[in-house]
Amino acid sequence: MYRTYSTVGLRTGPFGTQGFSGRRSPISPNRQLIPAVKLDGGFPVPARPLPDLRGDFANNTDVDMIPQTDAQPTYNQASLEVQHMIARGLTVRARGRTIRGKDLLMGGHLVGINAIPITALSHRDRLYDESFRRSLRPFPHVQQIRTNYQYPGGKYRYDEGRINIQNRTRDGLSFDFEYSYRKRWDDYSGSGIQDRGDRRTAWGLSRGFRPQRLSLSYTYELPIGPGKAILARRGFLAKFISDWSVSGFTSWLSGDPIALEPLFNNTGGVVPYLRVDSVAGVDPHVPNPGPEGWFNPNAFVDPADFTLGDVSRTHPTLRNPNYSNHDIAITKRVVISQDQSVEVLVQSFNFINQGNWNDPDTEIGPSHARNANAGKIIGSRGGRVLQLGLRYHF
Protein backbone atom coordinates (compact mmCIF):
# COMPACT_ATOMS: atom_id res chain seq x y z
CA MET A 1 0.00 0.00 0.00
CA TYR A 2 1.42 3.36 -0.92
CA ARG A 3 0.58 6.92 -2.02
CA THR A 4 1.99 8.84 -4.98
CA TYR A 5 1.73 12.46 -6.01
CA SER A 6 1.85 14.09 -9.44
CA THR A 7 3.27 17.49 -10.12
CA VAL A 8 1.34 20.41 -11.59
CA GLY A 9 3.92 21.89 -13.91
CA LEU A 10 3.92 24.72 -16.39
CA ARG A 11 3.94 23.64 -20.01
CA THR A 12 5.85 25.31 -22.78
CA GLY A 13 4.10 27.06 -25.66
CA PRO A 14 1.68 29.98 -25.89
CA PHE A 15 -0.44 28.96 -22.89
CA GLY A 16 -0.51 31.63 -20.19
CA THR A 17 0.89 34.34 -22.52
CA GLN A 18 -2.37 35.85 -23.63
CA GLY A 19 -0.94 39.30 -24.30
CA PHE A 20 1.66 37.91 -26.70
CA SER A 21 -0.10 35.08 -28.48
CA GLY A 22 -2.55 37.28 -30.38
CA ARG A 23 -5.31 34.70 -30.11
CA ARG A 24 -8.74 36.08 -30.94
CA SER A 25 -12.19 34.53 -30.57
CA PRO A 26 -14.81 35.96 -32.96
CA ILE A 27 -18.21 35.78 -31.25
CA SER A 28 -21.65 35.91 -32.82
CA PRO A 29 -24.13 38.33 -31.22
CA ASN A 30 -26.87 35.74 -31.84
CA ARG A 31 -25.94 32.08 -32.31
CA GLN A 32 -29.17 31.21 -34.06
CA LEU A 33 -29.24 33.99 -36.66
CA ILE A 34 -25.91 35.77 -37.11
CA PRO A 35 -22.54 34.23 -38.06
CA ALA A 36 -19.48 35.23 -36.06
CA VAL A 37 -17.43 35.88 -39.23
CA LYS A 38 -18.24 36.29 -42.94
CA LEU A 39 -15.22 35.03 -44.82
CA ASP A 40 -16.17 36.74 -48.07
CA GLY A 41 -15.13 40.03 -46.45
CA GLY A 42 -11.89 38.64 -45.06
CA PHE A 43 -11.02 37.80 -41.49
CA PRO A 44 -11.41 40.80 -39.13
CA VAL A 45 -8.22 42.77 -38.60
CA PRO A 46 -7.22 43.39 -34.96
CA ALA A 47 -8.19 46.86 -33.75
CA ARG A 48 -4.66 47.29 -32.38
CA PRO A 49 -1.34 45.91 -33.67
CA LEU A 50 0.10 42.89 -31.91
CA PRO A 51 1.42 42.37 -29.34
CA ASP A 52 -1.31 44.28 -27.52
CA LEU A 53 -0.12 44.73 -23.94
CA ARG A 54 -3.16 46.49 -22.51
CA GLY A 55 -4.50 45.05 -19.28
CA ASP A 56 -7.92 44.50 -20.85
CA PHE A 57 -6.54 42.97 -24.05
CA ALA A 58 -8.27 39.62 -23.44
CA ASN A 59 -11.74 41.02 -22.78
CA ASN A 60 -14.52 39.30 -24.76
CA THR A 61 -12.20 36.39 -25.68
CA ASP A 62 -11.28 32.97 -24.31
CA VAL A 63 -8.53 33.39 -21.74
CA ASP A 64 -5.91 31.22 -20.04
CA MET A 65 -5.68 30.61 -16.30
CA ILE A 66 -2.91 29.04 -14.25
CA PRO A 67 -4.69 27.64 -11.15
CA GLN A 68 -3.22 28.92 -7.88
CA THR A 69 -4.16 26.15 -5.47
CA ASP A 70 -2.53 23.85 -2.95
CA ALA A 71 -4.40 20.84 -4.35
CA GLN A 72 -2.08 18.22 -5.82
CA PRO A 73 -2.99 15.12 -7.87
CA THR A 74 -2.87 12.18 -5.46
CA TYR A 75 -3.13 8.41 -5.92
CA ASN A 76 -3.65 5.91 -3.10
CA GLN A 77 -2.79 2.38 -4.17
CA ALA A 78 -2.94 -1.06 -2.60
CA SER A 79 -2.07 -4.40 -4.17
CA LEU A 80 -1.62 -8.03 -3.23
CA GLU A 81 0.11 -10.68 -5.32
CA VAL A 82 0.35 -14.43 -4.73
CA GLN A 83 2.64 -16.73 -6.70
CA HIS A 84 2.79 -20.52 -6.67
CA MET A 85 4.85 -22.97 -8.72
CA ILE A 86 2.58 -25.89 -9.62
CA ALA A 87 5.18 -28.01 -11.39
CA ARG A 88 8.58 -27.66 -12.94
CA GLY A 89 8.42 -24.59 -15.12
CA LEU A 90 4.68 -23.94 -14.54
CA THR A 91 3.87 -20.90 -12.39
CA VAL A 92 0.55 -19.34 -11.38
CA ARG A 93 0.27 -15.74 -10.23
CA ALA A 94 -2.83 -14.00 -8.88
CA ARG A 95 -2.97 -10.28 -8.27
CA GLY A 96 -5.49 -7.81 -6.92
CA ARG A 97 -5.05 -4.05 -7.07
CA THR A 98 -7.09 -0.99 -6.19
CA ILE A 99 -6.35 2.69 -6.84
CA ARG A 100 -8.10 5.85 -5.69
CA GLY A 101 -7.25 9.20 -7.21
CA LYS A 102 -8.28 12.73 -6.31
CA ASP A 103 -7.50 16.24 -7.55
CA LEU A 104 -6.52 14.86 -10.96
CA LEU A 105 -5.70 17.32 -13.73
CA MET A 106 -8.51 18.44 -16.04
CA GLY A 107 -9.14 20.94 -18.80
CA GLY A 108 -11.14 24.11 -18.48
CA HIS A 109 -13.97 22.72 -20.63
CA LEU A 110 -14.52 20.10 -17.92
CA VAL A 111 -14.19 22.43 -14.96
CA GLY A 112 -16.42 25.19 -16.37
CA ILE A 113 -14.87 28.01 -14.33
CA ASN A 114 -16.76 30.63 -16.34
CA ALA A 115 -19.69 28.45 -17.41
CA ILE A 116 -23.25 29.72 -17.39
CA PRO A 117 -25.12 28.08 -14.46
CA ILE A 118 -27.49 25.23 -15.30
CA THR A 119 -30.33 27.14 -13.63
CA ALA A 120 -30.17 29.61 -16.53
CA LEU A 121 -31.94 27.04 -18.77
CA SER A 122 -35.19 28.56 -17.52
CA HIS A 123 -34.44 31.60 -19.74
CA ARG A 124 -34.82 29.35 -22.81
CA ASP A 125 -34.53 31.25 -26.15
CA ARG A 126 -33.03 34.33 -24.52
CA LEU A 127 -29.86 32.26 -24.13
CA TYR A 128 -29.11 32.68 -27.83
CA ASP A 129 -28.55 36.41 -27.32
CA GLU A 130 -24.83 36.82 -26.67
CA SER A 131 -25.07 39.96 -24.53
CA PHE A 132 -27.62 38.26 -22.26
CA ARG A 133 -25.52 35.07 -22.08
CA ARG A 134 -22.47 37.11 -21.08
CA SER A 135 -24.36 38.72 -18.22
CA LEU A 136 -24.94 35.26 -16.72
CA ARG A 137 -21.27 34.26 -16.53
CA PRO A 138 -19.34 34.55 -13.25
CA PHE A 139 -16.79 36.69 -15.13
CA PRO A 140 -18.87 38.52 -17.76
CA HIS A 141 -15.92 40.36 -19.36
CA VAL A 142 -14.44 37.12 -20.82
CA GLN A 143 -15.72 33.96 -22.47
CA GLN A 144 -14.31 30.50 -21.63
CA ILE A 145 -11.42 30.11 -19.19
CA ARG A 146 -8.87 27.52 -20.33
CA THR A 147 -6.56 25.66 -17.93
CA ASN A 148 -4.46 23.60 -20.37
CA TYR A 149 -5.34 20.46 -18.37
CA GLN A 150 -3.67 21.90 -15.29
CA TYR A 151 -6.70 22.21 -12.97
CA PRO A 152 -6.62 19.64 -10.13
CA GLY A 153 -10.18 18.48 -9.50
CA GLY A 154 -10.93 15.07 -11.02
CA LYS A 155 -11.73 11.86 -9.16
CA TYR A 156 -10.78 8.34 -10.17
CA ARG A 157 -11.23 4.73 -9.01
CA TYR A 158 -9.69 1.56 -10.39
CA ASP A 159 -10.15 -2.06 -9.25
CA GLU A 160 -8.43 -5.03 -10.87
CA GLY A 161 -8.16 -8.80 -10.48
CA ARG A 162 -5.62 -10.68 -12.62
CA ILE A 163 -4.48 -14.28 -13.02
CA ASN A 164 -1.40 -15.33 -14.96
CA ILE A 165 -0.24 -18.84 -15.87
CA GLN A 166 3.25 -19.10 -17.28
CA ASN A 167 5.08 -22.15 -18.54
CA ARG A 168 8.78 -21.87 -19.17
CA THR A 169 10.11 -23.95 -22.03
CA ARG A 170 9.50 -27.63 -21.29
CA ASP A 171 9.20 -30.39 -23.88
CA GLY A 172 9.51 -27.68 -26.51
CA LEU A 173 6.48 -25.72 -25.27
CA SER A 174 6.36 -22.36 -23.54
CA PHE A 175 3.35 -20.11 -23.05
CA ASP A 176 2.11 -17.12 -21.09
CA PHE A 177 -1.63 -16.87 -20.39
CA GLU A 178 -3.23 -13.91 -18.63
CA TYR A 179 -6.80 -12.89 -17.84
CA SER A 180 -7.76 -9.69 -16.06
CA TYR A 181 -11.06 -8.18 -14.98
CA ARG A 182 -10.91 -4.48 -14.30
CA LYS A 183 -13.30 -1.65 -13.56
CA ARG A 184 -12.58 2.04 -13.74
CA TRP A 185 -14.75 4.97 -12.75
CA ASP A 186 -14.14 8.71 -12.99
CA ASP A 187 -15.92 12.03 -13.41
CA TYR A 188 -13.98 13.48 -16.34
CA SER A 189 -13.22 10.96 -19.14
CA GLY A 190 -14.58 11.65 -22.62
CA SER A 191 -15.19 14.95 -24.34
CA GLY A 192 -17.13 16.62 -21.53
CA ILE A 193 -19.73 16.43 -18.78
CA GLN A 194 -23.31 17.64 -18.61
CA ASP A 195 -23.48 19.66 -15.38
CA ARG A 196 -20.09 21.16 -14.59
CA GLY A 197 -21.53 22.75 -11.46
CA ASP A 198 -22.35 19.37 -9.92
CA ARG A 199 -19.56 16.90 -10.68
CA ARG A 200 -21.27 14.16 -8.66
CA THR A 201 -23.65 13.64 -11.58
CA ALA A 202 -20.67 12.92 -13.87
CA TRP A 203 -19.40 9.94 -11.87
CA GLY A 204 -19.59 6.75 -13.93
CA LEU A 205 -17.68 4.06 -15.77
CA SER A 206 -14.71 5.49 -17.67
CA ARG A 207 -15.34 6.13 -21.32
CA GLY A 208 -13.25 4.02 -23.73
CA PHE A 209 -12.09 1.58 -21.04
CA ARG A 210 -12.46 -2.17 -21.77
CA PRO A 211 -12.92 -4.07 -18.48
CA GLN A 212 -11.90 -7.59 -19.53
CA ARG A 213 -8.69 -8.65 -21.23
CA LEU A 214 -7.38 -12.07 -22.20
CA SER A 215 -4.02 -12.74 -23.85
CA LEU A 216 -2.05 -15.85 -24.78
CA SER A 217 1.43 -15.99 -26.25
CA TYR A 218 3.08 -19.32 -27.05
CA THR A 219 5.98 -21.05 -28.78
CA TYR A 220 6.13 -24.75 -29.64
CA GLU A 221 9.06 -26.55 -31.18
CA LEU A 222 7.60 -29.51 -33.06
CA PRO A 223 8.90 -32.87 -31.71
CA ILE A 224 10.02 -34.11 -35.12
CA GLY A 225 13.53 -35.01 -36.25
CA PRO A 226 16.82 -36.12 -34.70
CA GLY A 227 16.75 -36.03 -30.92
CA LYS A 228 12.95 -35.65 -30.88
CA ALA A 229 10.10 -38.07 -30.15
CA ILE A 230 8.93 -38.46 -33.78
CA LEU A 231 11.04 -39.54 -36.79
CA ALA A 232 14.25 -39.31 -34.83
CA ARG A 233 16.39 -40.96 -37.52
CA ARG A 234 19.21 -38.99 -39.00
CA GLY A 235 19.65 -38.63 -42.71
CA PHE A 236 18.93 -36.47 -45.71
CA LEU A 237 15.19 -36.29 -44.91
CA ALA A 238 15.88 -35.10 -41.38
CA LYS A 239 17.03 -31.70 -42.68
CA PHE A 240 13.51 -31.06 -43.99
CA ILE A 241 11.39 -32.45 -41.18
CA SER A 242 13.32 -31.10 -38.18
CA ASP A 243 13.66 -27.65 -36.57
CA TRP A 244 10.09 -26.48 -37.16
CA SER A 245 8.45 -24.21 -34.60
CA VAL A 246 5.07 -22.50 -34.23
CA SER A 247 4.52 -19.32 -32.24
CA GLY A 248 1.63 -16.97 -31.87
CA PHE A 249 -0.24 -14.35 -29.92
CA THR A 250 -3.98 -14.17 -29.24
CA SER A 251 -5.77 -11.30 -27.53
CA TRP A 252 -9.39 -10.60 -26.63
CA LEU A 253 -10.86 -7.41 -25.18
CA SER A 254 -14.41 -6.91 -23.98
CA GLY A 255 -16.42 -3.93 -25.15
CA ASP A 256 -16.16 -0.53 -23.48
CA PRO A 257 -19.23 1.27 -22.07
CA ILE A 258 -21.53 2.90 -24.60
CA ALA A 259 -21.89 6.68 -24.34
CA LEU A 260 -25.23 7.85 -25.78
CA GLU A 261 -25.56 11.31 -27.31
CA PRO A 262 -28.57 13.40 -28.37
CA LEU A 263 -28.99 14.15 -32.06
CA PHE A 264 -30.01 17.72 -31.20
CA ASN A 265 -28.83 19.93 -28.34
CA ASN A 266 -31.24 22.80 -27.80
CA THR A 267 -29.86 24.31 -24.61
CA GLY A 268 -28.64 27.67 -25.87
CA GLY A 269 -25.03 26.59 -25.49
CA VAL A 270 -25.35 26.29 -21.71
CA VAL A 271 -24.87 22.49 -21.84
CA PRO A 272 -22.26 21.64 -24.49
CA TYR A 273 -22.24 17.92 -23.62
CA LEU A 274 -25.88 16.95 -23.19
CA ARG A 275 -27.01 13.44 -22.25
CA VAL A 276 -30.17 11.60 -23.33
CA ASP A 277 -33.33 10.63 -21.45
CA SER A 278 -34.42 7.06 -20.72
CA VAL A 279 -37.89 5.84 -21.71
CA ALA A 280 -39.64 4.23 -18.77
CA GLY A 281 -40.42 0.54 -19.11
CA VAL A 282 -38.39 -0.05 -22.31
CA ASP A 283 -35.47 -2.49 -22.13
CA PRO A 284 -32.32 -1.02 -23.74
CA HIS A 285 -30.97 -4.52 -24.47
CA VAL A 286 -31.86 -6.72 -27.45
CA PRO A 287 -31.97 -10.56 -27.43
CA ASN A 288 -29.35 -11.09 -30.15
CA PRO A 289 -27.12 -8.04 -30.62
CA GLY A 290 -25.86 -7.65 -34.19
CA PRO A 291 -25.17 -5.06 -36.88
CA GLU A 292 -28.89 -4.48 -37.47
CA GLY A 293 -29.44 -3.70 -33.81
CA TRP A 294 -26.77 -3.69 -31.13
CA PHE A 295 -29.03 -2.09 -28.54
CA ASN A 296 -32.62 -0.82 -28.44
CA PRO A 297 -32.62 2.90 -29.38
CA ASN A 298 -36.32 3.15 -28.48
CA ALA A 299 -35.29 2.95 -24.84
CA PHE A 300 -33.87 6.47 -25.14
CA VAL A 301 -34.94 9.85 -26.42
CA ASP A 302 -33.52 13.35 -26.71
CA PRO A 303 -34.43 15.49 -23.70
CA ALA A 304 -36.94 18.29 -24.18
CA ASP A 305 -35.54 21.68 -25.18
CA PHE A 306 -33.64 23.44 -22.36
CA THR A 307 -33.64 20.40 -20.07
CA LEU A 308 -31.00 17.89 -18.97
CA GLY A 309 -30.83 14.18 -19.82
CA ASP A 310 -31.16 11.58 -17.06
CA VAL A 311 -29.03 8.73 -18.50
CA SER A 312 -25.55 8.42 -17.01
CA ARG A 313 -22.49 9.72 -18.88
CA THR A 314 -21.63 6.14 -19.87
CA HIS A 315 -24.34 3.49 -19.77
CA PRO A 316 -23.94 1.11 -16.80
CA THR A 317 -24.81 -2.09 -18.73
CA LEU A 318 -24.57 -1.44 -22.50
CA ARG A 319 -21.21 -2.26 -24.08
CA ASN A 320 -19.65 -1.77 -27.50
CA PRO A 321 -18.55 -4.90 -29.44
CA ASN A 322 -15.65 -7.04 -28.25
CA TYR A 323 -12.31 -7.03 -30.04
CA SER A 324 -10.10 -10.04 -30.78
CA ASN A 325 -6.98 -10.74 -32.80
CA HIS A 326 -4.98 -13.90 -33.57
CA ASP A 327 -1.45 -13.91 -34.99
CA ILE A 328 0.67 -16.94 -35.84
CA ALA A 329 4.15 -17.60 -37.19
CA ILE A 330 5.71 -20.81 -38.55
CA THR A 331 9.50 -20.97 -38.63
CA LYS A 332 11.80 -23.51 -40.28
CA ARG A 333 15.50 -23.42 -39.36
CA VAL A 334 18.04 -24.97 -41.73
CA VAL A 335 21.54 -25.49 -40.34
CA ILE A 336 24.26 -24.96 -42.95
CA SER A 337 27.31 -25.22 -40.73
CA GLN A 338 28.29 -24.77 -37.10
CA ASP A 339 28.05 -21.00 -37.34
CA GLN A 340 25.66 -20.54 -40.27
CA SER A 341 21.93 -21.14 -40.60
CA VAL A 342 18.91 -19.94 -42.53
CA GLU A 343 15.44 -19.31 -41.14
CA VAL A 344 12.33 -19.35 -43.32
CA LEU A 345 9.48 -17.47 -41.68
CA VAL A 346 5.77 -17.46 -42.54
CA GLN A 347 3.71 -14.97 -40.52
CA SER A 348 0.00 -14.37 -40.59
CA PHE A 349 -1.59 -11.51 -38.71
CA ASN A 350 -5.23 -12.17 -37.85
CA PHE A 351 -4.77 -15.58 -39.47
CA ILE A 352 -8.39 -16.70 -38.91
CA ASN A 353 -9.55 -13.54 -40.71
CA GLN A 354 -11.51 -12.36 -37.68
CA GLY A 355 -13.72 -9.34 -38.39
CA ASN A 356 -14.31 -6.91 -35.52
CA TRP A 357 -17.46 -4.83 -35.63
CA ASN A 358 -17.27 -1.06 -35.48
CA ASP A 359 -19.05 0.65 -32.61
CA PRO A 360 -22.78 1.26 -33.11
CA ASP A 361 -24.29 4.64 -33.89
CA THR A 362 -25.10 6.22 -30.52
CA GLU A 363 -26.94 9.40 -31.60
CA ILE A 364 -30.54 9.01 -30.50
CA GLY A 365 -32.84 11.79 -31.69
CA PRO A 366 -36.19 13.09 -30.38
CA SER A 367 -39.41 11.10 -30.65
CA HIS A 368 -40.54 13.06 -33.74
CA ALA A 369 -37.20 12.87 -35.59
CA ARG A 370 -35.52 9.57 -34.83
CA ASN A 371 -32.03 8.75 -36.06
CA ALA A 372 -32.66 5.81 -38.40
CA ASN A 373 -29.17 4.40 -37.79
CA ALA A 374 -29.25 4.58 -33.99
CA GLY A 375 -28.14 1.27 -32.49
CA LYS A 376 -26.91 -0.07 -35.84
CA ILE A 377 -23.34 -1.00 -36.76
CA ILE A 378 -22.00 0.12 -40.10
CA GLY A 379 -18.81 -1.65 -41.13
CA SER A 380 -16.09 -3.68 -39.50
CA ARG A 381 -12.33 -3.68 -39.31
CA GLY A 382 -9.74 -6.41 -39.67
CA GLY A 383 -8.46 -8.72 -42.38
CA ARG A 384 -5.81 -11.37 -42.78
CA VAL A 385 -2.25 -10.25 -43.56
CA LEU A 386 0.34 -12.79 -44.78
CA GLN A 387 4.06 -12.11 -44.64
CA LEU A 388 7.02 -14.22 -45.84
CA GLY A 389 10.56 -13.76 -44.61
CA LEU A 390 14.05 -15.21 -44.96
CA ARG A 391 16.80 -14.70 -42.38
CA TYR A 392 20.45 -15.68 -42.73
CA HIS A 393 22.56 -16.14 -39.58
CA PHE A 394 26.32 -16.11 -39.77
Q: What is the mean pLDDT of the chain?
A: 88
Cβ atoms of 328 and 242 within 8 Å: the answer is no
**Given phi > 0 = left and psi -120 to 50 = alpha, else beta, which region is 232?**
alpha
**Residues sharing a CB contact under 8 Å with residue 379, sequence separation 6 or more, in sequence order:** 358
**pTM to 2 decimal places:** 0.82
For residue 168, what pLDDT is reported?
A: 85
Average pLDDT over residues 69-76: 91
Cα separation, 175 vs 95, in Å, equals 19
Please state, as a whole number, how many other Cβ atoms lie within 10 Å of the Cβ of residue 260. Answer: 25
For residue 15, what pLDDT is reported?
A: 67
**What is the end-to-end Cα distance of the chain in Å, rounded?**
50
For residue 339, what pLDDT is reported?
A: 81
